[in-house]
């Protein structure tokens, strides 16, 4: 039965994508330094390999800025000429629609991942064009009572396969892996993962534990985004920093003995 559902989902690739467009009312005007940080992240991602199409972004804990980074990275990739889809896989507590004040012309309910994985919508029903050129979005849908079961289904695998074939880049925003297991279920279906860490809030041990969870899935850890870094410039605090993950990076940044930042 699972194989039949999977095959049925894949068959939608032959259908024409419906022209459904949403308006993202809030598009942040990034300052120069933040914009350059995302350009650097985009460039480093490009040099991670030609086989990197789907990228998962996760964090250690809530409120580290993961969803904002996911959105701005997807937007930056689209502005660079890529056909991009942003997939909101936070089926527990999504903030995308509310934070960005996303609206539809017909005021109808936005269909999302939880609709599709629970059999309430077709795959093509949950993909929306946006007012950002070349950027499409798949919303999370209503909060699901059983997100781990839904993500672990064959339909999720079919969805990721479909999106990989339709887009140049698939950016997947997942819940914090240090809090819930959902991202570990998403990871095997992605080509790589980026972990976000908020400066001065996460211990060495906590970060290493989350890294081990990512590596245990077989998903390649591409790098780390260090968020909300003090830049030393008046008026610029909520900046973004990026660097490929190396063990020496954490050994130099954290005290391994007590798990606190030096």
| Domain layout of the chain by residue ranges | 2-253
At 116-172, the pLDDT tens digits run 999 999 999 999 999 999 999 999 999 989 999 999 999 999 999 999 999 999 999
Q: What are phi and psi of 221, to 5 degrees?
A: -85, 110
At 34-45, the pLDDT tens digits run 888 898 899 999
CATH number belonging to domain 2-253: 3.40.50.300
Strand 220-229 versus strand 192-198 pairing type? parallel
Q: Please report the beta strands in the chain, taking only residues with DSSP state E, as ranges in sequence order.
A: 21-24, 54-59, 84-88, 102-104, 127-130, 135-138, 169-173, 192-198, 220-229, 239-243
- Residue 30 contacts residue 73 (beta carbons within 8 Å): no
Looking at residue 250, its pLDDT comes to 38
pTM of the model: 0.83
The β-bridge partners of 139 are 112
Looking at residue 135, its pLDDT comes to 97
CA 149 vs. chain centroid, Å, equals 19
Task: Give the side-chain half-sphere CA count within 13 A for 43.
Answer: 8
Q: What angle do CA 261, 186, 146 make, to 5 degrees?
A: 105
Could you tell me which of 213, 165, 168, 206 has the C-alpha nearest to residue 188?
Answer: 213
- The whole-angstrom separation of Cα 39 and Cα 118 is 37
Neighbouring residues of 16: CB distance < 8 A, sequence distance ≥ 6: none
Torsion of CA 222, 242, 238, 26, to 10 degrees: -60
Torsion of CA 194, 200, 201, 205, to 10 degrees: 70
């Amino acid at each position: 039965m699972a194989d039949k559902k999977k095959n049925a989902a894949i068959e939608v690739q032959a259908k024409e994508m419906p022209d459904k467009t949403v308006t993202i009312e809030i598009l942040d005007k990034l300052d120069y330094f933040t914009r350059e940080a995302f350009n650097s992240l985009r460039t480093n991602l490009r040099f991670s390999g030609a086989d990197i199409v789907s990228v998962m972004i996760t964090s250690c804990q809530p409120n580290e800025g993961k969803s904002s980074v996911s959105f701005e990275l997807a937007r930056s990739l689209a502005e660079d000429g890529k056909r991009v889809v942003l997939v909101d896989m936070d089926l527990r507590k999504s903030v995308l629609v509310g934070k960005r004040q996303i609206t539809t012309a017909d005021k109808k309910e936005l269909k999302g991942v939880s609709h599709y994985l629970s059999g309430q919508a077709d795959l093509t029903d949950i993909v929306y064009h946006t007012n950002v050129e070349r950027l499409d979005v798949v919303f999370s849908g209503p909060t699901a009572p059983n997100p781990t079961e839904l993500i672990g289904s064959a339909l999720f695998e079919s969805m990721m396969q479909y999106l990989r074939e339709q887009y140049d880049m698939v950016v997947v925003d997942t819940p914090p892996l240090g809090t819930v297991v959902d991202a570990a279920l998403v990871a095997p279906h992605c080509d790589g993962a980026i972990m976000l860490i908020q400066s001065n809030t996460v211990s060495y041990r906590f970060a290493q534990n989350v890294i081990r969870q990512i590596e245990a899935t077989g998903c390649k850890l591409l790098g780390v985004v260090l968020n909300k870094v003090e830049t030393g410039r008046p008026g610029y605090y909520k900046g973004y920093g990026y660097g490929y993950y190396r063990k020496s990076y954490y050994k130099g940044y954290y005290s391994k003995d007590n798990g606190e930042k030096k």
